[in-house]
């Protein structure tokens, strides 16, 4: 009888152990199921990424205010020389690997663009700005140094975010080649998209006050007929940095042009937007124009 009682106790203890162990394993499995572990140590992609390329107006020639050199752009980061995000401070083209000297880099469309995109989307913005003043479209052809550097830096930035669009402003150096501009641009865009993704591509008109650019601007306005998922922005009403012989936009015009890029991006990406959300308000500083004189402008190799 004593032996039977002892056997029953052992059986009860054994069953209890099974229940407890089973519960522990079950909880462990559930915990493992709800807390996934990164197997490849990928960095979280927390930024919306934008590539800005082209020649001098994309590099930025709108004369900076003293406050521009220290003011952070809210919600915006810039890919730096170490291919890492840092809080964005002007000039945005300072880390371009193909730029001219640093003193030439000033306010660019990226300032107005990034501020408005962050304001409307609430997303963290990471800019890759890799422009070169005076560059011709043929210097951005597939396989060229300029395009390859833009692609290399974009791929580095894609570790931190997802590429959303490419902004392009170029053409002053191609006014005599307007007839072939879109076919050459199409080849560049195709090569770019093959490497970094099929994202919207937005081009900007060059200065309207220079009649020599009329044929080139007419081609830019046809971009969506040739390049899928593309658009263009107008330079109507923008004003020159110095005078009407100057192809560069002043500070206010650079900011306005950037906002126009943002508005076109919202349209192409299907993002709801009303101008009252920020498009008609000054961006990053006072709205009064800051002019320049010839003494303020540095020439390199006879070009801006």
The pLDDT tens digits of the residues spanning 115-145 come to 999 999 999 999 999 999 999 999 999 999 9
For residue 44, what pLDDT is reported? 74
Q: Which residues pair with 77 in a beta bridge?
A: 87, 126
For residue 1, what pLDDT is reported? 46
The DSSP output letter for 77 is E
d(CA 140, CA 200): 18
pLDDT in tens, 154-189: 999 999 999 999 999 999 999 999 999 999 999 999
Residues 6+ apart with CB under 8 A from 123: 47, 48, 75, 117
- DSSP-derived 3-state class of residue 127: strand
Residues 6+ apart with CB under 8 A from 181: 137, 171, 174, 216, 219, 220
Class of domain 47-286: alpha beta
Mean pLDDT of 24-40: 40
Residue 217 CB-density burial (10 A; 0-12 exposed, 13-18 middle, 19+ buried): buried
In contact, 208 and 175? CB cutoff 8 Å: no
Q: How far is CA 243 from the centre of its chain?
A: 30
Mean pLDDT of 260-284: 77
d(CA 58, CA 102): 14
pTM over the 0.75 mark? yes
* pLDDT confidence tier of residue 9, bands split at 50, 70 and 90: low
């Amino acid at each position: 009888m004593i032996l039977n009682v002892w056997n029953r106790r052992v059986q009860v203890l054994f069953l209890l152990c099974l229940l407890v162990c089973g519960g522990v394993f079950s909880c462990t499995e559930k915990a493992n199921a709800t807390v996934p572990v990164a197997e490849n140590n990928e960095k979280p992609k927390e930024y919306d990424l934008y590539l800005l390329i082209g020649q001098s107006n994309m590099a930025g020639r709108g004369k900076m205010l003293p406050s521009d050199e220290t003011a952070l752009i809210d919600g915006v980061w810039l890919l730096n020389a170490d291919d890492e995000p840092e809080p964005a401070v002007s000039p945005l083209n300072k880390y371009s690997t193909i730029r001219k000297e640093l003193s030439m880099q000033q306010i660019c469309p990226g300032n107005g663009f990034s501020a408005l995109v962050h304001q409307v989307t609430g997303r963290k913005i990471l800019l890759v700005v890799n422009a070169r003043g005076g560059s011709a479209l043929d210097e951005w052809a597939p396989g060229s140094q300029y395009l390859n550097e833009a692609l290399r830096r974009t791929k580095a930035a894609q570790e931190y975010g997802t590429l959303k669009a490419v902004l392009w402003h170029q053409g002053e150096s191609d006014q005599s080649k307007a007839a072939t501009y879109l076919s050459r641009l199409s080849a560049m865009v195709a090569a770019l998209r093959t490497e970094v993704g099929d994202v919207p591509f937005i081009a900007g008109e060059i200065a309207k006050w220079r009649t020599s650019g009329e044929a080139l601007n007419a081609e830019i306005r046809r971009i969506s007929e040739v390049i899928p998922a593309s658009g263009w922005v107008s330079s109507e009403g923008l004003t020159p940095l110095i005078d009407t012989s100057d192809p560069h936009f002043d500070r206010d015009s650079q900011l306005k042009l950037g906002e126009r890029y943002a508005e076109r991006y919202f349209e192409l990406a299907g993002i709801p937007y009303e101008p009252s959300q920020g498009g008609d308000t000054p961006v990053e500083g006072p709205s009064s124009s800051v002019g320049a004189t010839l003494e303020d402008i540095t020439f390199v190799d006879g070009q801006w």
